[in-house]
Structure 1
C-alpha cells in the first residue's frame, strides 16, 4: 500500500471540521482507485478523532507556531533536566504554565471558528496533550503531525505512550537518538587500541619514538570521561518537576474551588430570584383568573341587559300602537 497516499488523505480528513469527518472519509474511500483496494480499506479504517484530539489537530493546521513554541520549550526543559539545573527547570515550568494557558485559549478560539465549542472537560484534555508535547520529542512529533485521534498524557518520568494515538503512525518521524560525541576525548580502551594499531604500523621505526608516545598515551588514558547524570540525579530532577506540577495542580484546584463556590452563590441567588418570579407569576395568574371571571360575569350581565332593553323596546312599541288605536277610535 502507498503510505504516502494514505498520509495525504489522512491529513486532509483530520483538517476538516469535526462533524464533516465521517462523510468525508466515506467519500475519500470511494474516490480511491478500484485497483487500490488496500488503500481504500485503510482509509475506511481511519478512526474519528476525539473532540480534544481534533482541537489539537486544528491547532497544528491553523496555529502551528503555538505548538512549535511549546515544542521548543520542551527541548529546553529536557536540557535543563539533563544538566540538573533546578533553577532553570523552575523558571521553565513557570513559562510552561503561561504558554499552556494561552495555548488552551487558542485551541478554544480555533475550534469555535470551525464550528465546535470546547467544554471545560475537553479543554483539560487539550491541556494534558499539550503538556505531553513538552515531555518528550515523540509526543511533540505526534501532536504536530495533525493526525491525533486521541489525547496524550505525561507523568513527567516515563516516555509518553503513543500507542494508538496517531492515525498513521508511519507519518510521524521517530524521535532522534542522541549519539555521544566521543571524537574529542577518546576513551581509554579506544586510545589503547589506537596506540596498539599505531605500534603495529610503526614497528620498523627507531625505538627513540617510544618515550615520546608513552606520556601522550598515559595522558589520554587518564583523561576523565564526561560525567553523565546518575539515575538518582535524574530521579531527583524528575521529582522537582513533579513537585512543580503538583503545586500547579493544587493552585488550579484552589482556583476551580473558588469558581465552584462563586457558582454556588450564583445558583442560590438565582433560586431565590426564581422563587420570587414564581410567586409573582402565581399572583398574576390569580389576578388574571379573577379578571376573566369578572369579564364573563360582565358579558353575561350585558347580554341580560340587552335582552331587557330589547323587551322594553317592544313593550314601548306595543304601547304606542295601542295609544294610536285608542285615539283613532275616539275620532
Structure 2
C-alpha cells in the first residue's frame, strides 16, 4: 500500500511539538521498510513546528468557520488596498485589529487546553502569522492548510492604508506649454467630414457614480459581515469555555459538599464509639 505523504503530514502537524520528531521518524522508517524511499525522504524532511506554528495549526483545525470568515476579511482588505479606497480601508483596519486579537486569544486558549503554555512572545508570533494571512494570499493559503512549521511574517510596508497617488513633477509644465505653442503655429487642417449617424461608433456605457457607490457599499457590507461573523464565533467560543469552567467548578463544589457530609457522618460515628469506649473503661 502506497504511503500518502499529505495524509502523514496532516497527522503529524496535528501533534504536539514534543511528539512530532519521534512520530515523523517512525513514519519515515515505515515508508522505507515498504520500499517507498521517495515518500520516506519527503516525510523525513518535514520540520518540527514551533510553539507559535502549533497554536496556529490548532486554530485552523479546531475553528474552521472562524478561519473561513477571517480569509474573507483578508480578501476584502486586499481589494481595498488595490482600489486605494481609503475610507473603506480605515473601517476594515479597525475590524482587522479586533479579529486578529480575538483569534490569537482563541489559539492561545486551545494550546493551553492541550497543556502547552503560550508565552507573550509566542502569542505575538501567532498575531504576526494572522496579519500575514490577511495581507498575502500565499501566506493565507499556507496558514489555512494547518501545516505550518514556523510562524509567518506580514509583508514589509503593509499597513492597510492606500498608497499615495503619484505627483506630477513641476518640470512637465514648461514642456507642455512649449508643445501647445508649436501646435498653435501649425496651419489649421480642414476638418474631416463627420461620419453618418449609422457609421458613428456607439460610446460604451460607463458605470454611473451611483452604481459605483452601491458596489462599494455592498463590498463594505460583505467585509463587515465577515468580520462580525468572526467576532461572533470567537465570542461564542469564549462563552462555551466559560460555561465549561463553571460546570467544572460546580461539579467540584458538589463533590466537596458530599465529602463534607460523609466526613461529618464519620466524625459522629467516631464520637459515639469513643464515648462507648470511655464508658466501658470506667465500668
Question: Does the 8 A contact of 2:136 with 2:155 survive in 1?
Answer: no
- Whole-angstrom distance in 2 between the partners of 1:72 and 1:152: 19
- Whole-angstrom distance in 2 between the partners of 1:87 and 1:73: 16
In structure 1, the residue matched to 2:68 is 68
In structure 2, the residue matched to 1:6 is 5
Question: Does the 8 A contact of 1:17 with 1:115 survive in 2?
Answer: no
Q: Secondary structure at the match of 1:214?
A: coil
Matched, 1:214 2:199: yes
Q: Secondary structure at the match of 2:112?
A: helix
Q: Secondary structure at the match of 1:104?
A: helix
Question: Does the 8 A contact of 2:77 with 2:92 survive in 1?
Answer: yes
- Whole-angstrom distance in 1 between the partners of 2:205 and 2:199: 14
In structure 1, the residue matched to 2:29 is 30
Structure 1: gaps spanning 5 or more residues:
159-209, 226-331
- Whole-angstrom distance in 1 between the partners of 2:44 and 2:81: 43
Question: Does the 8 A contact of 1:29 with 1:41 survive in 2?
Answer: yes
- Whole-angstrom distance in 1 between the partners of 2:130 and 2:55: 11
The Cα of 1:13 is off from its aligned counterpart by 0.3
Q: Relative to structure 1, is the Cα distance of residues 37 and 62 closer, same or farther in structure 2, using a 3 angstrom cutoff? A: same
The 5 A counterparts of 1:237-256 are none
Question: Does the 8 A contact of 1:135 with 1:156 survive in 2?
Answer: no
- Whole-angstrom distance in 1 between the partners of 2:94 and 2:103: 14
The Cα of 1:88 is off from its aligned counterpart by 1.4
Q: Secondary structure at the match of 2:4?
A: helix
Matched, 1:90 2:90: yes
Q: Relative to structure 1, is the Cα distance of residues 122 and 29 closer, same or farther in structure 2, using a 3 angstrom cutoff? A: same
Alignment RMSD: 2.6
Q: Relative to structure 1, is the Cα distance of residues 66 and 132 closer, same or farther in structure 2, using a 3 angstrom cutoff? A: same
Matched, 1:115 2:115: yes
Structure 2: gaps spanning 5 or more residues:
159-194, 208-283
- Whole-angstrom distance in 1 between the partners of 2:83 and 2:44: 47
- Whole-angstrom distance in 2 between the partners of 1:82 and 1:92: 14
Q: Relative to structure 1, is the Cα distance of residues 64 and 103 closer, same or farther in structure 2, using a 3 angstrom cutoff? A: same
In structure 2, the residue matched to 1:41 is 41
Q: Secondary structure at the match of 1:134?
A: helix
The Cα of 1:31 is off from its aligned counterpart by 2.1
Report the TM-score when normalising by structure 2. 0.55
- Whole-angstrom distance in 2 between the partners of 1:14 and 1:106: 18
In structure 1, the residue matched to 2:100 is 100
Which structure's relative contact order is higher, taking Cα pairs within 8 Å and 6+ residues apart? 2
Please identify runs of 4+ aligned residues in structure 1 that moved more than 6 A. Answer: 222-225
Question: Does the 8 A contact of 1:142 with 1:148 survive in 2?
Answer: yes
- Whole-angstrom distance in 2 between the partners of 1:68 and 1:59: 12
In structure 1, the residue matched to 2:212 is none
